[in-house]
């Protein structure tokens, strides 16, 4: 699968893993309109036609993951332009949330505002020990608008989410790990390697199984237990009559590694 030459996102294949790097280092990879278009296109393409890609590592160039919305671009925006831009961002966040290919965020530096919201939309999150985080929107007269109030509350609980959102205070990687925002804290020099190792582990599994399981977890959590279980079984049943299911069982009995084709 070939991607366009995005202006703000660098895409580099690593076997069945795609490494996508937010690439505006001169402004700490701040989210502007162009990046909104680029990310929306990227995750829409991965949804429609993932090709050989079975996992994505999303990181930032140089010293930051993403400093949040580009306030220099937003300075002086009319209400109509601001809302049009935010509509684009909303579609981008939804495209990321609903992307069937698992996305691992590798936070190499600060993730503030919309940058942290991008990370919270990913399936799981690794971060450098030195990284800092915040949702400081209330200090700017707005509030989180990239699913931040929803994803953060689901990760850390209602009371902690209210504390972090209503104060806007920054927090550390160690705090984020203890509260459930992060899956793993890494030494800065090891972050990329650890995220890639996990992505390769995911990519080695049956891709249809991974996508169905991701969907079942994501949507099941929005329903009561028995309804969610019915959804899980529907997802499970779609895997029974696949070549990968037959290959997986055959490989197990032949004591070899399976070769999954995504069919």
Q: Tell me the mean pLDDT in the region 38-42.
A: 98
Buried b (16+ CB within 10 A) or exposed e, 209-247: bbbbbbbbeeebeeeeeeebeebbeebeeebeebebeeb
The answer to whether residues 108 and 230 belong to one domain is no
> Among all residues, which ones are annotated catalytic?
117, 137
Whole-number Å distance between alpha carbons of 11 and 180 = 28
> Would you say residue 51 lies in a domain?
yes
Do 239 and 179 have their domain in common? Answer: no
The answer on 146 and 30 residing in a single domain is yes
Question: Containing domain of residue 129, as a range?
Answer: 9-203
Q: How many domains does the chain have?
A: 2
Q: Please state, for a pLDDT cut of 90, what percent of the chain lies above it.
A: 97
Q: Tens digits of per-residue pLDDT, 119-134?
A: 999 999 999 999 999 9
Interval 82-108: pLDDT, tens: 999 999 999 999 999 999 999 999 999
Query: Where does the pLDDT of residue 2 fall: very low under 50, low under 70, confident under 90, or very high at 90 and above?
Result: confident
One domain for residues 85 and 51: yes
186 forms beta bridges with 128
- Asked whether 83 and 128 are in contact (CB, 8 A), the reply is no
Q: Please enumerate in sequence order all residues whose Cβ is within 8 A of that of 180, keeping only pairs 6 or more positions apart, or say none.
A: 155, 156, 157
Report the predicted TM-score, pTM, of the whole model to 2 decimal places. 0.94
pLDDT in tens, 214-244: 999 999 999 999 999 999 999 999 999 999 9
Q: How confident is the model at residue 14 (pLDDT cuts 50, 70, 90)?
A: very high
Tell me, yes or no, whether 259 lies in a domain: no
pLDDT at position 3 is 86
Q: Is the pLDDT of residue 18 over 80?
A: yes
Roughly what angle, to the nearest 10 degrees, separates helices 225-240 and 243-253?
A: 80
Is 186 in a helix, a strand, or coil?
A: strand
């Amino acid at each position: 699968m070939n991607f366009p030459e995005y202006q703000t996102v660098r895409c580099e294949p690593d076997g069945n893993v795609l490494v996508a790097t937010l690439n505006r280092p001169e402004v700490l990879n701040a989210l502007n309109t162009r990046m909104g278009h680029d990310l929306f296109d990227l995750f829409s393409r991965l949804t429609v036609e993932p090709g050989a890609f079975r996992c994505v590592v999303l990181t930032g160039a140089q010293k930051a993951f993403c400093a949040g919305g580009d306030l220099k671009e937003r300075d002086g925006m009319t209400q109509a332009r601001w809302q049009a831009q935010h509509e684009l961002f909303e579609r981008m966040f939804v495209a990321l949330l609903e992307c069937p290919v698992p996305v691992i965020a590798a936070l190499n530096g600060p993730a503030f505002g919309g940058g942290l919201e991008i990370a919270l939309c990913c399936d799981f999150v690794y971060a450098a020990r030195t990284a800092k985080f915040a949702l400081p929107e209330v200090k700017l007269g707005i509030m989180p608008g990239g699913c931040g109030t929803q994803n953060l509350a689901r990760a850390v609980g209602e009371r902690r989410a209210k504390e972090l959102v209503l104060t806007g205070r920054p927090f550390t990687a160690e705090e984020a790990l203890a509260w459930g925002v992060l899956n793993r804290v890494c030494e800065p020099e090891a972050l990329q390697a650890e995220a890639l190792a996990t992505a390769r582990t995911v990519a080695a599994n049956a891709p249809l199984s991974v996508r169905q399981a991701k969907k079942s977890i994501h949507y099941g959590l929005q329903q009561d237990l028995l309804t969610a279980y019915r959804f899980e079984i529907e997802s499970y049943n779609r895997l029974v009559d696949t070549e990968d299911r037959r290959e997986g069982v055959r490989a197990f009995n032949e004591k070899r590694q399976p070769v999954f084709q995504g069919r």
